[in-house]
Amino acid sequence: MFSQLVVNGLVTGSVYAIAAVGVSLVYGILRLVNFAYGDMMAFGALVAYGCNGPLHQSMVVAALAGMAATALLALALDVALWKPLRARRAGFMSLFLASIGLALVLRQALLLAAGPQPEAYRVDPYRVFVIGSVRLSEAQTIAVATAAAAIVVVALFLARTTAGRVLRAMADDRTLAAVAGIDVARATRLAWAISGLLAGLAGVLAGLVEYSFTPDFGFQLLLPVFAAVVLGGIGSAYGALAGGLALGLAEELSTWSGFAGGVDPVYKPVVAFVLLALALLLRPQGLFGRARVA
Protein backbone atom coordinates (compact mmCIF):
# COMPACT_ATOMS: atom_id res chain seq x y z
CA MET A 1 0.00 0.00 0.00
CA PHE A 2 2.69 2.44 1.04
CA SER A 3 4.92 1.80 -1.96
CA GLN A 4 1.90 2.14 -4.25
CA LEU A 5 1.23 5.56 -2.73
CA VAL A 6 4.85 6.56 -3.21
CA VAL A 7 4.67 5.62 -6.87
CA ASN A 8 1.35 7.42 -7.33
CA GLY A 9 2.89 10.42 -5.62
CA LEU A 10 5.84 10.38 -7.96
CA VAL A 11 3.49 10.22 -10.97
CA THR A 12 1.46 13.22 -9.81
CA GLY A 13 4.54 14.97 -8.52
CA SER A 14 6.43 14.72 -11.78
CA VAL A 15 3.55 16.39 -13.65
CA TYR A 16 3.55 19.19 -11.07
CA ALA A 17 7.32 19.41 -11.27
CA ILE A 18 7.42 19.85 -15.04
CA ALA A 19 4.69 22.47 -14.98
CA ALA A 20 6.28 24.23 -12.02
CA VAL A 21 9.58 24.61 -13.88
CA GLY A 22 7.68 26.20 -16.77
CA VAL A 23 5.99 28.71 -14.45
CA SER A 24 9.19 29.36 -12.58
CA LEU A 25 11.32 30.09 -15.65
CA VAL A 26 8.95 32.77 -16.88
CA TYR A 27 8.57 34.23 -13.42
CA GLY A 28 12.32 34.32 -12.92
CA ILE A 29 12.84 36.27 -16.09
CA LEU A 30 9.74 38.39 -16.53
CA ARG A 31 8.46 38.63 -12.93
CA LEU A 32 5.19 37.38 -14.33
CA VAL A 33 2.98 35.10 -12.24
CA ASN A 34 1.33 33.45 -15.22
CA PHE A 35 -2.23 32.66 -14.31
CA ALA A 36 -2.90 31.39 -17.82
CA TYR A 37 -0.40 28.58 -17.44
CA GLY A 38 -3.00 25.99 -16.46
CA ASP A 39 -4.98 26.82 -19.56
CA MET A 40 -1.86 26.60 -21.70
CA MET A 41 -1.44 23.10 -20.29
CA ALA A 42 -5.04 22.32 -21.25
CA PHE A 43 -4.34 23.70 -24.73
CA GLY A 44 -1.41 21.31 -25.15
CA ALA A 45 -3.47 18.39 -23.83
CA LEU A 46 -6.27 19.14 -26.28
CA VAL A 47 -4.01 19.55 -29.32
CA ALA A 48 -2.48 16.20 -28.45
CA TYR A 49 -5.96 14.75 -28.08
CA GLY A 50 -6.83 16.04 -31.53
CA CYS A 51 -3.84 14.21 -33.00
CA ASN A 52 -4.31 11.08 -30.94
CA GLY A 53 -8.07 10.76 -31.15
CA PRO A 54 -9.60 12.02 -34.39
CA LEU A 55 -6.31 11.92 -36.35
CA HIS A 56 -5.19 8.53 -35.04
CA GLN A 57 -1.58 9.49 -34.39
CA SER A 58 0.51 7.64 -31.85
CA MET A 59 0.78 9.07 -28.35
CA VAL A 60 4.38 10.14 -28.98
CA VAL A 61 3.53 12.13 -32.10
CA ALA A 62 0.50 13.57 -30.35
CA ALA A 63 2.51 14.69 -27.33
CA LEU A 64 5.17 16.29 -29.53
CA ALA A 65 2.49 18.11 -31.50
CA GLY A 66 0.87 19.32 -28.28
CA MET A 67 4.20 20.59 -26.98
CA ALA A 68 5.11 22.33 -30.23
CA ALA A 69 1.71 23.96 -30.50
CA THR A 70 1.85 25.23 -26.91
CA ALA A 71 5.33 26.63 -27.44
CA LEU A 72 4.08 28.48 -30.53
CA LEU A 73 1.12 29.77 -28.57
CA ALA A 74 3.44 31.02 -25.82
CA LEU A 75 5.65 32.81 -28.35
CA ALA A 76 2.67 34.32 -30.15
CA LEU A 77 1.25 35.58 -26.86
CA ASP A 78 4.59 37.14 -26.02
CA VAL A 79 4.52 39.13 -29.25
CA ALA A 80 0.85 40.04 -29.06
CA LEU A 81 0.45 40.73 -25.34
CA TRP A 82 3.45 40.56 -23.05
CA LYS A 83 5.88 42.50 -25.20
CA PRO A 84 3.58 45.51 -25.55
CA LEU A 85 2.94 45.40 -21.80
CA ARG A 86 6.67 45.31 -21.08
CA ALA A 87 7.14 48.22 -23.44
CA ARG A 88 4.66 50.16 -21.30
CA ARG A 89 6.58 49.18 -18.17
CA ALA A 90 3.50 47.48 -16.76
CA GLY A 91 3.96 46.57 -13.11
CA PHE A 92 3.63 43.22 -11.37
CA MET A 93 -0.07 43.83 -10.77
CA SER A 94 -0.91 44.69 -14.36
CA LEU A 95 0.92 41.64 -15.65
CA PHE A 96 -0.82 39.37 -13.17
CA LEU A 97 -4.20 40.75 -14.11
CA ALA A 98 -3.50 40.46 -17.79
CA SER A 99 -2.69 36.81 -17.22
CA ILE A 100 -6.04 36.38 -15.46
CA GLY A 101 -7.83 37.92 -18.42
CA LEU A 102 -5.85 35.74 -20.77
CA ALA A 103 -6.69 32.65 -18.71
CA LEU A 104 -10.40 33.40 -19.07
CA VAL A 105 -10.10 33.91 -22.81
CA LEU A 106 -8.05 30.77 -23.36
CA ARG A 107 -10.20 28.54 -21.20
CA GLN A 108 -13.47 29.65 -22.75
CA ALA A 109 -11.99 29.48 -26.24
CA LEU A 110 -10.98 25.88 -25.56
CA LEU A 111 -14.46 25.09 -24.29
CA LEU A 112 -15.92 26.73 -27.35
CA ALA A 113 -13.66 24.80 -29.69
CA ALA A 114 -13.74 21.39 -28.02
CA GLY A 115 -16.98 21.36 -26.07
CA PRO A 116 -17.39 20.64 -22.36
CA GLN A 117 -17.40 16.82 -22.60
CA PRO A 118 -14.43 14.89 -21.13
CA GLU A 119 -11.85 13.51 -23.56
CA ALA A 120 -9.48 10.59 -23.10
CA TYR A 121 -6.36 9.52 -24.98
CA ARG A 122 -6.38 6.19 -26.77
CA VAL A 123 -4.56 4.18 -24.13
CA ASP A 124 -5.87 0.95 -22.70
CA PRO A 125 -7.12 1.64 -19.17
CA TYR A 126 -7.13 -2.06 -18.37
CA ARG A 127 -3.56 -2.81 -19.24
CA VAL A 128 -1.67 -2.76 -15.98
CA PHE A 129 1.97 -3.30 -15.16
CA VAL A 130 2.70 -5.01 -11.88
CA ILE A 131 6.10 -4.52 -10.25
CA GLY A 132 6.21 -6.20 -6.86
CA SER A 133 3.32 -4.76 -4.87
CA VAL A 134 2.98 -1.75 -7.16
CA ARG A 135 0.44 -1.53 -9.97
CA LEU A 136 0.77 1.03 -12.73
CA SER A 137 -1.67 1.59 -15.56
CA GLU A 138 -0.31 2.02 -19.05
CA ALA A 139 -1.04 5.74 -18.90
CA GLN A 140 0.74 6.12 -15.58
CA THR A 141 3.73 4.19 -16.86
CA ILE A 142 4.03 6.40 -19.92
CA ALA A 143 3.61 9.49 -17.79
CA VAL A 144 6.17 8.63 -15.18
CA ALA A 145 8.78 7.46 -17.69
CA THR A 146 8.36 10.54 -19.88
CA ALA A 147 8.33 12.85 -16.90
CA ALA A 148 11.49 11.34 -15.47
CA ALA A 149 13.23 11.74 -18.81
CA ALA A 150 11.93 15.30 -19.17
CA ILE A 151 13.10 16.24 -15.68
CA VAL A 152 16.59 14.94 -16.41
CA VAL A 153 16.69 16.80 -19.73
CA VAL A 154 15.53 20.05 -18.13
CA ALA A 155 18.00 19.76 -15.27
CA LEU A 156 20.84 19.04 -17.68
CA PHE A 157 19.75 21.90 -19.92
CA LEU A 158 19.77 24.35 -17.03
CA ALA A 159 23.05 23.12 -15.59
CA ARG A 160 25.13 22.32 -18.65
CA THR A 161 24.13 24.47 -21.60
CA THR A 162 25.02 28.12 -22.09
CA ALA A 163 21.37 28.95 -22.71
CA GLY A 164 20.37 27.28 -19.45
CA ARG A 165 22.99 29.20 -17.51
CA VAL A 166 21.86 32.44 -19.13
CA LEU A 167 18.29 31.79 -18.05
CA ARG A 168 19.34 31.11 -14.48
CA ALA A 169 21.60 34.15 -14.42
CA MET A 170 18.70 36.32 -15.59
CA ALA A 171 16.41 34.86 -12.99
CA ASP A 172 18.96 35.90 -10.38
CA ASP A 173 19.47 39.43 -11.54
CA ARG A 174 17.93 40.82 -14.68
CA THR A 175 19.74 44.14 -14.74
CA LEU A 176 23.07 42.52 -14.07
CA ALA A 177 22.43 40.06 -16.88
CA ALA A 178 21.73 42.93 -19.27
CA VAL A 179 24.93 44.63 -18.19
CA ALA A 180 26.84 41.39 -18.69
CA GLY A 181 25.91 41.55 -22.36
CA ILE A 182 23.16 38.94 -22.43
CA ASP A 183 20.65 39.40 -25.23
CA VAL A 184 17.60 39.86 -23.02
CA ALA A 185 15.06 39.75 -25.85
CA ARG A 186 16.41 36.47 -27.12
CA ALA A 187 16.58 34.93 -23.67
CA THR A 188 12.96 36.00 -23.10
CA ARG A 189 11.83 34.22 -26.26
CA LEU A 190 13.78 31.17 -25.19
CA ALA A 191 12.12 31.19 -21.78
CA TRP A 192 8.66 31.39 -23.35
CA ALA A 193 9.45 28.61 -25.80
CA ILE A 194 10.66 26.29 -23.06
CA SER A 195 7.85 27.28 -20.75
CA GLY A 196 5.39 26.47 -23.56
CA LEU A 197 7.02 23.13 -24.34
CA LEU A 198 6.84 22.19 -20.67
CA ALA A 199 3.23 23.37 -20.40
CA GLY A 200 2.29 21.21 -23.35
CA LEU A 201 4.09 18.21 -21.96
CA ALA A 202 2.67 18.64 -18.47
CA GLY A 203 -0.80 19.02 -19.97
CA VAL A 204 -0.52 15.81 -21.97
CA LEU A 205 0.87 13.91 -18.99
CA ALA A 206 -1.83 15.26 -16.71
CA GLY A 207 -4.43 14.17 -19.24
CA LEU A 208 -2.90 10.70 -19.31
CA VAL A 209 -2.70 10.40 -15.55
CA GLU A 210 -6.24 11.61 -14.93
CA TYR A 211 -7.44 9.33 -17.72
CA SER A 212 -10.12 11.75 -18.92
CA PHE A 213 -10.08 15.52 -18.84
CA THR A 214 -12.20 18.51 -19.80
CA PRO A 215 -10.90 21.65 -21.53
CA ASP A 216 -11.08 23.58 -18.25
CA PHE A 217 -9.05 21.11 -16.18
CA GLY A 218 -6.03 23.40 -16.30
CA PHE A 219 -7.25 25.63 -13.52
CA GLN A 220 -7.49 22.77 -11.05
CA LEU A 221 -3.89 21.90 -11.86
CA LEU A 222 -2.74 25.50 -11.65
CA LEU A 223 -3.10 25.86 -7.90
CA PRO A 224 -0.97 22.85 -6.91
CA VAL A 225 1.55 23.93 -9.55
CA PHE A 226 1.73 27.40 -8.02
CA ALA A 227 2.04 25.79 -4.63
CA ALA A 228 4.98 23.77 -5.94
CA VAL A 229 6.62 26.91 -7.33
CA VAL A 230 6.24 28.75 -4.04
CA LEU A 231 7.39 25.74 -2.08
CA GLY A 232 10.55 25.67 -4.17
CA GLY A 233 11.17 29.39 -3.78
CA ILE A 234 9.70 31.51 -6.59
CA GLY A 235 11.99 31.83 -9.57
CA SER A 236 14.23 28.88 -8.74
CA ALA A 237 13.97 26.20 -11.42
CA TYR A 238 15.56 23.42 -9.37
CA GLY A 239 13.41 24.42 -6.40
CA ALA A 240 10.31 24.10 -8.58
CA LEU A 241 11.32 20.57 -9.59
CA ALA A 242 11.81 19.56 -5.99
CA GLY A 243 8.67 21.38 -4.87
CA GLY A 244 6.54 19.61 -7.46
CA LEU A 245 7.78 16.15 -6.51
CA ALA A 246 7.44 16.90 -2.80
CA LEU A 247 3.90 18.13 -3.27
CA GLY A 248 2.81 15.13 -5.33
CA LEU A 249 4.25 12.76 -2.75
CA ALA A 250 2.66 14.65 0.11
CA GLU A 251 -0.76 14.60 -1.54
CA GLU A 252 -0.71 10.84 -2.03
CA LEU A 253 1.00 9.90 1.21
CA SER A 254 -1.46 11.94 3.25
CA THR A 255 -4.07 9.30 2.45
CA TRP A 256 -1.87 6.52 3.86
CA SER A 257 -3.62 4.78 6.72
CA GLY A 258 -0.35 4.59 8.64
CA PHE A 259 -0.45 8.37 8.90
CA ALA A 260 -3.08 9.06 11.56
CA GLY A 261 -5.56 6.84 9.75
CA GLY A 262 -5.05 8.78 6.52
CA VAL A 263 -6.76 11.87 5.19
CA ASP A 264 -10.01 11.39 3.28
CA PRO A 265 -8.92 11.35 -0.40
CA VAL A 266 -11.39 14.11 -1.29
CA TYR A 267 -9.12 16.41 0.73
CA LYS A 268 -6.01 15.61 -1.28
CA PRO A 269 -5.95 19.05 -2.93
CA VAL A 270 -6.34 20.68 0.46
CA VAL A 271 -3.31 18.79 1.73
CA ALA A 272 -1.19 20.60 -0.84
CA PHE A 273 -2.37 23.98 0.40
CA VAL A 274 -2.01 23.17 4.06
CA LEU A 275 1.49 21.95 3.38
CA LEU A 276 2.22 25.12 1.47
CA ALA A 277 0.95 27.27 4.31
CA LEU A 278 2.97 25.35 6.88
CA ALA A 279 6.09 25.52 4.74
CA LEU A 280 5.76 29.27 4.28
CA LEU A 281 5.28 29.79 7.99
CA LEU A 282 8.47 27.94 8.74
CA ARG A 283 10.47 29.29 5.82
CA PRO A 284 8.95 32.46 4.38
CA GLN A 285 11.51 32.43 1.57
CA GLY A 286 10.24 29.07 0.26
CA LEU A 287 11.13 25.59 1.35
CA PHE A 288 14.04 25.23 -1.02
CA GLY A 289 14.87 28.93 -1.18
CA ARG A 290 18.48 28.19 -0.32
CA ALA A 291 18.83 25.37 -2.80
CA ARG A 292 18.96 27.99 -5.52
CA VAL A 293 22.18 27.86 -7.49
CA ALA A 294 23.78 31.16 -8.34
Partner 1 sequence: MSTLASAGFWEFVGVVAGIYTILALGLQLQFGFAGLLNFGQVAFMAIGAYTMAILVVKEGWSTWLAAPLGVAAAAVGGLVLGLPTLRLRSDYFAIVTIAFSEIVRYVAMNEDALTGGSQGTIALGPVGQAAQYNGQWAQFQHRMQAWLGLPSADATMLVIVWLAALALLASAWAVLRTPWGRVLRSIREDEDAAASLGKNAFAYKLQALALGAALAGVAGLFYAWQFSYFSPDDFAPLLTFFAWMIVLLGGLGRVFAVPVGAVVFGFIFAGTRFLGFAPFSWFASDQRAYLRLIIIGLVILALVVLRPQGLLGKREEMVLE
| CB-CB contact of 97 with 32 (8 Å) | no
Using the rule CB under 8 A, is 281 a contact of partner 1? yes
CB of 246 to partner 1, least distance (A): 16
Region from 66-74, 154-162, 249-257, 270-278 binding partner 1, contact rule CB under 8 A? 270-278
Instruction: Give the one residue of 58, 108, 133, 161 binding partner 1; rule: CB under 8 A.
Output: 108
Instruction: Give the one residue of 55, 105, 159, 293 binding partner 1; rule: CB under 8 A.
Output: 105
Site for partner 1 in 76-95 (CB under 8 A): 81, 84-85, 88, 90, 92-94
3 state DSSP class of 97: helix
- Closest-CA residue to 67 (of 39, 35, 45, 51): 45
- Tell me whether residue 143 or residue 228 sits nearer to partner 1 (CB atom): 228
d(CA 156, CA 200): 20
DSSP string, 137-165: EHHHHHHHHHHHHHHHHHHHHHHHSHHHH
d(CA 195, CA 201): 10
Instruction: Give the one residue of 7, 59, 206, 227 binding partner 1; rule: CB under 8 A.
Output: 227
> In angstroms, how far apart are the furthest CA atoms of the chain?
58
β-strand partners of 264: none
Interacting residue ranges for partner 1, rule: CB under 8 A: 33, 81, 84-85, 88, 90, 92-94, 96-98, 100-109, 111-112, 116, 219, 223, 226-227, 230, 234, 264, 266-267, 269-270, 272-274, 276-277, 280-281, 284, 286
